[in-house]
Structure 1
Amino acid sequence: MNAIKAEVIICPSIDYAKILNKEIAKNANSLVVIEDSQPAKRHPIFQLLTQINAPILLLSNKTWKHPLNIVGAIDPLHENARPETIDDSIVEMMRHWGRDLKAKPTIAHCCYISPVLSQYKKKIMAEHQEALKAFSRKLQLNKDQQVLLDGQPEDILPSYVKNNQVDVLFIGLVARNKLSQFWIGSTTSALLTTPPCDLLLIKH
């Protein structure tokens, strides 16, 4: 086995994000890996995730399977006020993992329909399915690489992850308010509270 060359940097202050970003700027392909733990025991860096200028892998003690099973949560209709480029970045990162780690990639789009709109459910689901297909065509994804899930993302994604033995879930990391850089989108916040698997957070 080849040895991994590592450099240990002692952080003399609590300005973790600033020091991390200084190191990240040295390599455009930086990936920040953070060992996850129970929410009550997490490092203060978890309060600064939106300030880190690189993808963040939250790593648990679970063993990955071979081949690696990865899923990217996307929002092709941009209903949750997230930048369009995040979905493209999620797919690009998944492709890198697919090539380098022999991973099996799938994109998932969640569609929740309020009971008050139940009479329009078939039409709404069809619109979301078409948006997912259009996104897949744009990025040249196969039909078996996409899935439309019926339900709230924070509810249906953990169920899908469990039922399909997903190793890593790729999700967008969005600060909802420019005046509040600590406020993360509701879906990501829910998944961070109780991660269904290892998470790869993508900001840009």
Structure 2
Amino acid sequence: MDIRKILVNVEEGKDCSQLLEKALRLAEGAGAKIELFRCCYNASLRNSYLFDKEALINAEHGFMHGAEAELEKIAASIQEQGIEVDIDVCWERHHAEAIVRKVLRFQPDVVLHQIEQHSRLGHYVFDQADWQLIRECPVPLMLVKQKPWSDRGHVAAALDPFHECDSPATLDRKILDWATRIVQTIEGDIRVVHSFSVLPHSAIFDEHLVTDFEGMQVKVRAEHQYALDQILEPYGLSITSQEVTLKEGEPHLTMLDYVDEQHIDLLVIGAVARGMIDRLLVGSTIERILDEIHCDLMVIKAPDFVSSISE
């Protein structure tokens, strides 16, 4: 699993210093090419009554030329570091769809997309385009925050042997493969975390089950430990390895604590389509941690994922 091409979505008006720094670190470590991409659209320009059709087209082209000039300046600084780089600009109202179509054309190995922090609350705010991109991007999507990686990047693979998909082990192996590849690329270290909930006593209504509640808890733990061990074995790891952590509790809470305790820079996590509502949800854990977690996230789809957006 090589990283040869990196697509970096550089949005207008954002401080992209961390986005570019992380893209450079990946490109340098992997010997990869970077493509800087921007989707342009200006509603005020598009809706202006001052332009006829030809004048509107010229105005749009002028807007895009300005974006190209900005990206070319960034590209020049990247080239000075010996990294191959190209740029691409398009005019499209729906940014997420434009990015996915670019992915289908360019076939990158990974996409870097910056998300913005709410200035007052300290949480990250996801707009509709962010969520659509998370749902639809067919290649690994790295969601970059304005927080630098440590010199020795701490990368954690969030595994769940009981994913709600046809082949949970296949998705977990893909998560582990990508986490391992990122670690090799940035010369970091790998961690593995599995968070699971045990059945609360209040949920037991059968009086026969209540009497053996502790036994049920032990059985649940054992099942999770065994399933995780089976996935980790080919990677030379086990549940007793110091790199591996099992957390009991609600995943959306324990994952936040784990990232802070272990000083994680990048959490690699799977996104699972959820039947009829997969257009609204990509997995409850991702939805509940994205705006609060203090690290970047890399969202991995199942190998059989197909985006509903076509080229």
Aligned counterparts of 1:14 and 1:87: Cα–Cα separation in 2: 35
Rate the CA distance shift 1:43–1:12 in 2: closer, same or farther, 3 A: farther
- Secondary structure of 2:116 counterpart: coil
1:17-56 alignment runs, 5 A limit: 17-38=96-117, 42-48=126-132, 49-56=134-141
Q: Which residue of 1 aligns with 2:148?
A: 63
Aligned counterparts of 1:41 and 1:146: Cα–Cα separation in 2: 31
Counterpart AA for 2:293: P
Q: Which residue of 2 aligns with 1:199?
A: 297
Aligned counterparts of 2:293 and 2:149: Cα–Cα separation in 1: 15
Match among 240, 248, 252 for residue 154 of structure 1: 252
**Superposed displacement of residue 152, structure 1:** 1.2
Counterpart AA for 1:59: V
Rate the CA distance shift 1:41–1:91 in 2: closer, same or farther, 3 A: closer
**Superposed displacement of residue 104, structure 1:** 0.7
TM-score, normalised relative to structure 2: 0.59
Number of equivalenced pairs:
203
For the 8 Å contact 1:168–1:200, the answer to whether it is kept is yes
Deviation sequence 1:161-194 (CA, Å, 0-9, x none): 1011111111112221256423221101001232
Aligned counterparts of 2:151 and 2:83: Cα–Cα separation in 1: 21
**Superposed displacement of residue 197, structure 1:** 1.1
Structure number with higher relative contact order (C-alpha < 8 Å, ≥ 6 residues apart): 1
Unmatched runs of 5 consecutive residues or more in structure 2 = 1-79, 119-123, 205-212, 303-311
> 2:171 matched to 1:86?
yes
Q: Which residue of 1 aligns with 2:226?
A: 130
Identity over the aligned pairs, expressed in percent?
23
For the 8 Å contact 2:256–2:292, the answer to whether it is kept is no
For the 8 Å contact 2:158–2:269, the answer to whether it is kept is yes
- Secondary structure of 1:76 counterpart: coil
**Superposed displacement of residue 82, structure 1:** 6.6
TM-score, normalised relative to structure 1: 0.86
Q: Which residue of 1 aligns with 2:195?
A: 110
> 2:112 matched to 1:16?
no
Over alpha carbons, which structure has the higher Rg? 2
> 2:207 matched to 1:95?
no
